[in-house]
Structure 1
Amino acid sequence: MKNKLTPKKIVEELDKYIISQDEAKKNVAISLRNRYRRKAIENSDMRREITPKNIILIGSTGVGKTEIARRLAKLADAPFIKVEATKYTEVGYVGKDVESMIKDLLGITIRKLKSDKVEELKEKYREGVIEKVAKLIKPYDTVNLDVKKELVEDILAGKYDDYEVEVEKSPKGDLPFVEVVSAGNAPEEGVQGIIDNIVSSFPGRGKSKSILMNVVDAIDYLLNEEVEKNIDMEAIIPEAIRTTEQDGIIFIDEIDKIAEREGGGRSEVSRQGVQRDILPIVEGTTVMTKYGAVKTDHILFIAAGAFTLSSPSDLMPELQGRFPVKVRLKNLEEEDFIKILTQVEYNLLEQYKSLLKVDNVDISFTKGAIERIAEVSMDLNENVENIGARRLATVVETVLKEIMYEAPYEKLQVIKIGKREVDNIYKEETEEENLDNYIL
């Protein structure tokens, strides 16, 4: 995380994508900044003692809880995973155990670091691979650098894209791809060993062959081959573990669903069991994975829930204590919906404009249409089910359905959506009859 990412700057970035919810944005910004502050402390003992101040976001669906966490992780370029508390079961029961969230987070981190390393290596070896392909097009003397230079320039300009060259394919390329996915926490090594023995017995194992492919595919194939030979997974895995431990963010959604409620039955026992299992993960423990041990002490946990039938105080006291920051998000109003449609970067209306532009449709929305879309969304939330800002997508999709169905066009079609067009679709007399159509 960069030094310039101050809490105020973080909130400014979040403001581009999330309307309202200032208190929530301020709290997550402070939590993110505290990570940088902790890392900057020179005293290692002090640094080790400072743990993240985990957050519970309280609010109904569609008010921005998930989006805040997701954007925060993207802003910090941190490993991020969203999990649902209801998907986990108490240890000893069939289902997902809570430690799998740490394993999944590590898996995401490994894939991210590997992807970054692959891009770095591709950049490093691209020039050499292009020169190799140039030699396949027209073998040149190493002394004659002008011929090589001209060929390379022509390849980069796309002049040889469809030209076919003969590439020697490694034996590895002839074998079927076999991926082993273990069930639960079962070790994969034994199964993988069996697979390796089977693969080694394939006919033609160890023999290379030449195949024809166009220049674009040849560059791509040789580049991937070069990357595969030079990527060091043994160096990536320790780095991934460190990154997961120091920068990981886990968003636990629907935490209210595992809170104990008054007058609860047998299901309350299961909920309490999941809480007991989550507690050490949030508190700080070591989780064993197939890549090594992962300490959870400095992973940031952001929990969220509507808490309509319960409250955070219904969670186990020990678990409550591990989420010291509690923020209640406000329900969105019509004015917020208008801002979401007009002020958010890459907002919903801009997305549909870009989609329809592909099919020769230039679409625009009047101020009246936008206000009416917001008004209809509010009405449906109040009279059907409150799904917050997600309702906007339902309404806009309905308004544009016929236009999207009729496209594409040969000639550019300029279409302006006004309040009247929205009213024609959402007539008052039919709105009540067809409410079921808008329930997600």
Structure 2
Amino acid sequence: MSDINKEDDLEIEEVKDIDSTNDDNDEDDYEEICYLCRRPESKTGKMIELPNDIHICSECMQKTFDAMGKGGFGFDDIPGMSNIPNISMINLADLQNMVPKKQKLKKKKVSEEKSKAPALDIKNIPAPHKIKASLDEYVVGQEYAKKVISVAVYNHYKRVATNTMDEIEIEKSNMLMIGPTGSGKTYLVKTLARILDVPLAIADATSLTEAGYIGDDIESVVSKLLAAAGNDVEKAERGIIFIDEIDKIAKKKNTNQRDVSGESVQQGMLKLLEGAEIEVPVGANSKNAMVPLTTVNTKNILFICGGAFPDLEEIIKERLNKQSSMGFKADLKDKYDNDPTVLSKVTIEDIKNFGMIPEFIGRLPIIFTLESLTKEMLIKILKEPRNAILKQYQKLLELDEVQLNFADPALEAIAEKALEKKTGARALRAIIEEFMLDIMYEIPKDENIGRVTITREYIEKTGGPLIDMRGVLKIEG
């Protein structure tokens, strides 16, 4: 029996050894962070290890000694320390609770094979027509916008894949997307990132402020991308950043107050859009003493800016009306008032008059517009995309073994109501939620209901839906 126990003990010891080696390997994948300046070991060099797992770089340690020396503290004074004013010894054990947990950065593993091979393979990048075909499955209409974004993204990732291997350096193709609310700007970018399988960060320009003021720093846009890439810097440097509501950082007109969230934010973003080394906090939106920093190069990050640009149509109309001549063949002043395509006539001069600075516009070379949604487009949005709203409700009722149908006149009534709200495709969801509430509440009560047909009368509140019972369905079949 004793021999058996000894063998068991040996097996347990071997398991412990394996576990310990695994832990050691995990620790080897990470590098220490300086407790004071928050820089990683790869930047500071070998660190000084103190009790309670505190690590301080030699530079910070030297600064600490210099500061203590200037304050009258010297090593020769240690025996008579009672005479030294304003100096108290720090107990490192008290810092145990202050040490942030898991404040370690993952080391970059650079193998010979990886360093030779490019990060992206040109052959794996889908061609523009394939990108557009994938977008067509989710986004209705906006043919011109889908074509522009497909070509721009394809060219951008060819640029990243080649990594300027020859003498000709390809410039970035950042984009500015202009379109009315609910036309599908954000949805287009989300679908694009899903197709390309690259990290995507969606930031809101309204929360950005000039450095030193309450709000998000401009670098927080890049830190969101780093978080989306799982704190992998190399992966983040090939990602896409979509800055929504970009029109909200336009230059404020006729104001005496400091413009901390307008022109100053545009100026702060200039280097970001062009390509620069940015110090980014890891795992947080703002820099502070307890967060490690890492450097991200924005040279290969694709920036897509989007905004509704309200009142831009009035600026375009004003410019077009000024061009009209006088006389019998002159254009009427109200010629463009009911023109649904007036936004597509936008020029850089119009965007400048809106309040965007020339340097900012210059770093967004590709400018395109999205169309306002028509009644026909709204009907298609309801039923054609892969995850259309109607398909979602049909699936929900299918789980209750009930078939849900929508009559064509009902779809037209929904689209007409959505156009009245003037909030684009967002209005569709609100309208459907309203009239589907009673149906989703009442149908689970009766297990004999087999089919529900939504009619125009039900949408307009002049009648009810058509309900067929299961027995009737069997007889019809």
Same fold (TM over 0.5): yes
Q: TM-score, normalised by structure 1?
A: 0.62
Tell me how far 1:396 sits from its aligned partner. 1.1
Which SS does the other structure have where 1:82 is aligned? strand
| Distance in 2 between residues matched to 1:30 and 1:254, nearest whole Å | 23
| Distance in 2 between residues matched to 1:359 and 1:32, nearest whole Å | 43
Q: Which amino acid aligns with 1:402?
A: D
Higher helix share: 1
State whether structure 2 residue 438 is matched by structure 1 residue 397: no
Q: Which amino acid aligns with 2:371?
A: K
Per chain length, whose mean CA-contact separation is higher, i.e. which structure has more relative contact order (CA < 8 Å, sep 6+)? 1
Which SS does the other structure have where 1:44 is aligned? coil
State whether structure 2 residue 143 is matched by structure 1 residue 22: yes
Q: Deviations over 1:238-295 (max 9, x none)?
A: xx2111112x111111111111144344254541111111211112111223363110
8 Å CA contact 1:256–1:312 kept in 2: the answer is no
State whether structure 2 residue 379 is matched by structure 1 residue 387: no
Tell me how far 1:94 sits from its aligned partner. 1.7
State whether structure 2 residue 245 is matched by structure 1 residue 254: yes
Superposition pairs of residues 293-372 of structure 1, within 5 angstroms: 293-309=295-311, 312-313=351-352, 314-372=355-413
Q: Which residue of 2 aligns with 1:31?
A: 152
State whether structure 2 residue 129 is matched by structure 1 residue 93: no
2:237 to 238, 242, 245: 245
8 Å CA contact 2:202–2:241 kept in 1: the answer is yes
Where does structure 1 differ by over 4 angstroms across 4 or more consecutive aligned residues?
none
8 Å CA contact 2:243–2:305 kept in 1: the answer is yes
2:178 to 58, 64, 86: 58
Q: Deviations over 1:127-179 (max 9, x none)?
A: xxxxxxxxxxxxxxxxxxxxxxxxxxxxxxxxxxxxxxxxxxxxxxxxxxxxx
8 Å CA contact 1:259–1:312 kept in 2: the answer is no
Q: Which amino acid aligns with 1:390?
A: R
Q: TM-score, normalised by structure 2?
A: 0.58
Tell me how far 1:301 sits from its aligned partner. 0.6
State whether structure 2 residue 417 is matched by structure 1 residue 417: no
| Distance in 2 between residues matched to 1:338 and 1:98, nearest whole Å | 40
8 Å CA contact 2:410–2:454 kept in 1: the answer is yes
| Distance in 2 between residues matched to 1:325 and 1:265, nearest whole Å | 34
8 Å CA contact 1:366–1:418 kept in 2: the answer is yes
Segments of 5+ residues of structure 1 without an aligned counterpart are 111-236, 428-440
| Distance in 2 between residues matched to 1:84 and 1:327, nearest whole Å | 20
| Distance in 1 between residues matched to 2:299 and 2:405, nearest whole Å | 50
Q: Which residue of 1 aligns with 2:67?
A: none
Q: Which amino acid aligns with 1:278?
A: M
Residues 343 and 275 of structure 1, relative CA distance in 2, 3 Å threshold:
same
Which SS does the other structure have where 1:297 is aligned? helix
8 Å CA contact 1:83–1:251 kept in 2: the answer is yes
Tell me how far 1:377 sits from its aligned partner. 1.3
Task: Report which of the two structures shows the higher radius of gyration computed on alpha carbons.
Answer: 2
8 Å CA contact 2:270–2:360 kept in 1: the answer is yes
Superposition RMSD in Å? 2.2
8 Å CA contact 1:353–1:363 kept in 2: the answer is yes
Residues 337 and 321 of structure 1, relative CA distance in 2, 3 Å threshold:
same
Q: Which residue of 2 aligns with 1:10?
A: 131
Tell me how far 1:50 sits from its aligned partner. 2.6
